[in-house]
Structure 1
Amino acid sequence: MAAAKIVLDLVLITTLPTNYTKAIKVGSVLDCALECIRKPRCDAMAFSAPLPMCFLYQQSIQEDPSATSNMDLLLYNLKRGTECNEVFARSRKSRNPVCNVKKGYNYEPDMDVCYKYHSSEKVKHAAAKNTCINEGGSNLLKVDSDKKQDFFKKLVPSGSFAYIQGDRHDTTGEWVYWEETTAVVMSYNNWAAGQPNGAHRGQDCISIDPTGQHDASCLFTNYFFCEKYM
């Protein structure tokens, strides 16, 4: 089998270019390079060690002649043979070392999310949350973008619901996430038509189905998604 040729050219630059197309939390510069290599339209990458974060670009970066080496910010232009796109497209759903596939978790690199869909048994909200915590997931899934909503709602069969993270604050009535004992107001919701509709009927938790998010009684029995935060 022929080898796929990839060249990473280090570029010296003073500040991080702001026209990146994606920012991903990664563990090393190698992980950053792999993220770029897997995307056919990634021509440059930057790795910021203090964060650590990976920034992907669709065009090569021009070197700054006055710049000096900065090991906290490594930026590379990527050169690859045309055969590389096909090779790395097959490894799109790569494993993440933090995402425990042995416990049934799956890693989606496009969203940098490690999740598990519990679809064999329906449970109440409290039991769902405890399961996620006890099996090593950080919590119920946080659906905080259109991209995540579009992906996960398609996994739920029509006529079924799955619990996700978020509940109605019993004092303010706002929809919140809980970080330790602190309530953080949710900045994203994508409710299904007519939702939420149960403020006075004790529907204080959130579930998702193929149509979007619904307020639901925390005592309903539903499937659920867990997410391990990375």
Structure 2
Amino acid sequence: MTASMSLNHVEAVGLQSRMFGTSIRRYNWVEDKSEANRLYNSSLTTTLASLITCTAACSNAIDCTAATYNNSTKECNCINNTTSFTSQLGNMLWRRKFDGFIFDAQLGWYIRLFVNTSHTHAEAESVCGNHGARLAVLDTSDKLSYVTGLPDYRPDIFCYVGAMDEQSDGLFTWSTGTSVTNWMLDEPNGLHLDEDCVAIFNNYLIDLPCSHSNNFVCEIEYK
């Protein structure tokens, strides 16, 4: 395995065989400064190492989704969630990314926002599927807020998500079968014929035609 580092970014190559079949994947580790100075109660391994060695080792840990590293003590912890923690001065959290997807432990998913390409809803579903993913199911306010809080998100651009009214006209459900909430005011409105798909716009959900080409967001559930 190999690794390289810049100030807030670490790249590591390792073997991953849990979710995606045994394959070599290139992981990018991104520092999450919002969760500094925490020791998480979900450590898979604890070692003393350099940051590069730490992230390279955690890339190969089957259940590892993030890592903490303390520049002072050199303590490395490969962790599988960030839901329970105590205070630990100097610890920094590094989240693992691959193929543009970044993991969030609280929401239990890998997420990727596609902003430099536009596709119809069916094409977007296919792109997500090629990554072993699906169009994102934003069935809670926390999930919607997470996506609209991503650095690449633009509120003035339509972004497809994984909901339609294909079963019953006007009754929108996520691909998981749950009902869609968090609509923009006066949505869904069926303003144009066949507005059977759903997109984020101005931080809320709207209905729109599936044939339009838009940005989109994919998710992979962590199991």
Question: What TM bracket, shorter-length normalisation?
Answer: 0.5 to 0.7
Q: Please list the CA deviations of residues 169-208 of structure 1 after superposition, one character each: whole Å capped at 9, or x if unmatched.
A: 34454212335xxxx2x23410011211117621100000
Query: Number of paired residues?
Result: 151
Question: How much does 1:7 deviate?
Answer: 9.2
Gaps of 5+ in 2: 1-37, 43-61, 65-77
Which of 207, 212, 220 lines up with 2:212 in the alignment? Answer: 220
Q: Which residue pairs with 1:94 in the alignment?
A: 95
The question of 1:131 aligning with 2:127 is answered yes
Report 1:1-230 matches (<5 A).
Answer: 31=79, 35-36=82-83, 39-40=85-86, 82=87, 84=88, 86-88=89-91, 90-91=92-93, 93-95=94-96, 101-137=97-133, 139-155=134-150, 156-171=153-168, 173-178=170-175, 184=177, 186-198=178-190, 201-230=193-222
| Structure 2 contact 40–79 (Cα < 8 Å) conserved | no
Amino acid at match of 1:147: D
TM-score when scaled to structure 2?
Answer: 0.58
Q: Which amino acid aligns with 1:114?
A: Y
Question: What secondary structure is seen at the aligned counterpart in 1 of 2:154?
Answer: coil
Q: Give the alignment's Cα RMSD to 1 decimal.
A: 3.1
Distance 1:105 1:7, change over 3 A: closer
Answer yes or no: is the 8 Å Cα contact 1:153–1:209 preserved in 2. Answer: no
- Name the larger-Rg structure: 1
Larger strand share, 1 or 2:
2
Give structure 1 stretches of 5+ with no counterpart: 9-25, 41-81, 96-100
Runs of 4+ in 1 over 6 A off after TM superposition: 4-8
Q: In structure 2, the residue corresponding to 1:203 is in which secondary structure?
A: coil
Alpha-carbon distance between aligned partners in 2 of 1:201 and 1:105, rounded to the nearest angstrom: 34
Q: Is the 8 A contact 1:160 1:209 kept in 2?
A: yes
